[in-house]
A and B are shown apart, each in its own frame.
Chain A
Amino acid sequence: MHIPDGYLSPATYISSYAAAVPLFAYGIKKLKESLDEKTLPLISSLTALSFLVMMINIPIPGGTSGHAVGAAAISILINPWIGFISLSLVLLIQAVIFGDGGITAWAVNSLSMGFAASFTAYFSYRFLSGFNRGFALFFSGWISAVASSFVVAFFLGIQPMIAHAPDGKPLFFPFGLEITIPALVLSHMVYFGIVEGVYTFVVVRFIQKTKNQILGEINGV
Chain B
Amino acid sequence: MGYRRIFFLMFILFLMLPLGLLTDAPAWGEWDLSFYEKAIGFIPEGMKKGNVIDPLIQDYSLEGLPPAVSYYLSAFIGTALIFLSFYWIKIIRKKDER
Chain A residue contacts of B96, Cβ below 8 A = 32
A98 pairs with B74, CB closer than 8 A: yes
Q: In the complex, A187 Cα to B29 Cα: how many Å?
A: 12
A43 part of interface (Cβ distance < 8 Å): yes
Name the CB-closest residue of A to B47. Answer: A6
A4's partner among B3, B30, B82 (CB-CB below 8 A) is B30
A203 part of interface (Cβ distance < 8 Å): yes
B40 pairs with A99, CB closer than 8 A: no
Q: In the complex, A55 Cα to B13 Cα: how many Å?
A: 9
How many Å from the CB of A198 to the closest CB on chain B? 13
Report the count of interface residues on B (CB-CB < 8 A).
Answer: 60
On whether A66 and B44 interact (CB within 8 A), knowing A35-B93, A99-B55, the answer reads no
Chain A residue contacts of B52, Cβ below 8 A = 5, 102-104
A184 pairs with B89, CB closer than 8 A: no
Main secondary structure of the interface of B (DSSP, over half): helix
B64 part of interface (Cβ distance < 8 Å): no
Chain B residue contacts of A44, Cβ below 8 A = 82-83, 86-87
How many Å from the CB of B42 to the closest CB on chain A? 7
On whether A206 and B5 interact (CB within 8 A), knowing A47-B86, A65-B25, A89-B82, the answer reads yes
Report the count of interface residues on A (CB-CB < 8 A).
Answer: 71
A53's partner among B13, B53, B71, B74 (CB-CB below 8 A) is B13
A48 part of interface (Cβ distance < 8 Å): yes
A93 part of interface (Cβ distance < 8 Å): yes
B79's partner among A52, A98, A103, A156 (CB-CB below 8 A) is A52
Q: In the complex, A67 Cα to B60 Cα: how many Å?
A: 15
A52's partner among B10, B21, B47, B57 (CB-CB below 8 A) is B10
Q: In the complex, A99 Cα to B28 Cα: how many Å?
A: 16
Which A residues contact B (CB, under 8 angstroms)? 1-7, 9, 28, 31-32, 35-36, 40-49, 51-53, 55-60, 63-67, 89-90, 93-100, 102-104, 152, 156, 163, 165, 169-174, 180, 183-184, 187, 203, 206-207, 209-210, 213-214
